[in-house]
């Protein structure tokens, strides 16, 4: 499981000209899933995200978390995070989990994130052609791979 986390001033997801998710200050999380992702990966990654200190404190130092600021989150599935570009110019997505495996993991991740955050998380739609708009704040962009936790 791999995420790209962007601290945003605002973000939204549009599908077929309909806005399905929108937040002000918070995090936009792009989530890529592989077949061997586990419940432990989900719990570890969710805990890491909600406690990641990427928001400014009263002195403007990145010392507070999304939970501390009661910020909002959008999660967007993105299998392309597991692209392999080693051979040729056309990326291979062979490492990305197929929908029958990825969807339950995606849903469990969202549920865990909501539990850890203590509030509803907004989402895109798994597998949909989505238009994601964001205003990256900072810019702050963090990449975390659950397989690198040890």
Tens of pLDDT, residue by residue over 37-67, are 999 999 999 999 999 999 999 999 999 999 9
- What is the set of domains in the chain, with CATH numbers? 2-148 (3.50.80.10)
- Residue 5 CB neighbours (<10 A): 21
Residue 149 predicted with pLDDT over 90: no
Instruction: Point out the residues that are catalytic.
Output: 80
Q: What is the pTM of this model?
A: 0.95
Q: How far apart are CA 80 and CA 130, in angstroms?
A: 13
Nearest CA-CA partner of 73 in 105, 131, 113, 45: 113
pLDDT in tens, 23-45: 999 999 999 999 999 999 999 99
Residue 41 CB partners (closer than 8 Å, separation 6+)? 1, 146, 147, 149
Query: What is the reported pLDDT for 95?
Result: 93
Find where tokens 């998710």 sit. Answer: 21
Going by their DSSP bridges, the two strands 62-64 and 55-56 should be labelled as antiparallel
């Amino acid at each position: 499981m791999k995420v790209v986390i962007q601290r945003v001033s605002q973000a939204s997801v549009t599908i077929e000209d309909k806005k399905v998710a929108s937040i002000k200050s918070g995090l936009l999380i792009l989530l890529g899933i592989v077949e061997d992702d586990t419940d432990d990966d989900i719990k570890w990654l969710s805990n890491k995200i909600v406690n990641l200190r990427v928001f400014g404190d009263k002195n403007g130092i990145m010392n507070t978390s999304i939970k501390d600021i009661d910020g909002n989150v959008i999660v967007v599935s993105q299998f392309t995070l597991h692209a392999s570009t080693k051979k040729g110019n056309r990326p291979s997505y062979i490492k990305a989990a197929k929908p029958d495996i990825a969807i339950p993991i995606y849903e469990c991740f969202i549920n865990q994130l909501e539990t850890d955050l203590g509030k509803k998380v907004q989402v895109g739609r798994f597998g949909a052609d989505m238009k994601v708009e964001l205003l990256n704040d900072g810019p702050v962009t963090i990449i975390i791979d659950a397989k690198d936790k040890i």
